[in-house]
Every structure is written in structure tokens, then in C-alpha cells.
Amino acid sequence: MSSHPCLSCGACCAFFRVSFHWSETDPALGGRVPFELTEPLRAHERAMRGTSQAHPRCIALDADIGRYSRCTIHDRRPSVCALVPASYEFGEPSAQCDKARLAHGLRVLTPADWVGVGDAERNPLPEV
């Protein structure tokens, strides 16, 4: 079995601003994102610390971009993070994934990168 390509990437977490509704940090409303890892953005939005700057890098990212990557709060990450699929993870290219990878000097993913990656290893598509 091959490993999930995101485990050797991390480019999206060091390229995009991660902004989301403040309620995702409020446990009383079912929020799971650790409040202390966020900062205010707009009236009803918060952002992951480190992502609202010229050279973003999420505070929850533990990575050497292109070599290894993990989200330290993967099971509590903001919903917007789950909405960005890796290219061809589910058979389609992802413009966001491609843009982040290219910005970090990485090649875009192809269907060949998913050979040997089992369904259980793929990030489930979020319910919309």
C-alpha cells in the first residue's frame, strides 16, 4: 500500500488562509477547533493562526513541505480544511491543491499518485 500523498505534502496548509465561522471554536455549539489556535478575522469569522499573513503557515501544521506533513488537530480541524481534496483523491483534479503544490515547487498530483492508496486511507468527502 502507498501512503496518502498529503502525508508528504502540506502545501495547502502553508499557502491558503484558513477562515471559518466562529461557531466552529465554541464547544457549546458543537465546535471542535481549539480557540487558542485561532485569531479574529471578521465579525463572524476566525482564522487559524499563521494563515492571515503574506506567507501563510497554519499553526497546526507539523511539516517539512514536500517531505512530510501532518495536521496536529486533524480530528478537530476546521470544516474548510476538509473541503479541499487532494487532486485525484476522488478522481478529479483540485485547482486549490494544484495551486498550493506549484507555489511550493511541487508537481501536481496525478491519478498515478493514488495507486495503492486504499479507500480507508483517503479523507472522506464532507457531507454538504
Tens-digit pLDDT profile for residues 90-102: 899 999 999 999 9
Q: What is the pTM of this model?
A: 0.88
In this predicted structure, which of 4-8, 37-41, 99-103 has the lowest mean pLDDT?
A: 4-8
Answer whether residue 127 is part of any domain.
no
User: What gap in Å lies between CA 117 and CA 110, rounded to an integer?
Assistant: 13
Answer whether residue 78 is part of any domain.
yes
Confidence of residue 122 (pLDDT cuts 50, 70, 90): confident
Confidence of residue 128 (pLDDT cuts 50, 70, 90): very low
Specify the DSSP element, H or E, that contains 99: helix 95-103
User: What gap in Å lies between CA 40 and CA 67, rounded to an integer?
Assistant: 31
Per cent of the chain over pLDDT 70 is 92
Confidence of residue 3 (pLDDT cuts 50, 70, 90): confident
In one letter, which amino acid is 14? A
Confidence of residue 123 (pLDDT cuts 50, 70, 90): low
Answer whether residue 68 is part of any domain.
yes
Answer whether residue 117 is part of any domain.
no
Residue 44 belongs to domain spanning: 5-109
| 3-class state of residue 20 by DSSP | strand
Answer whether residue 125 is part of any domain.
no
Identify the pLDDT of residue 1: 53
How many distinct structural domains can be found in the chain?
A: 1
Answer whether residue 75 is part of any domain.
yes
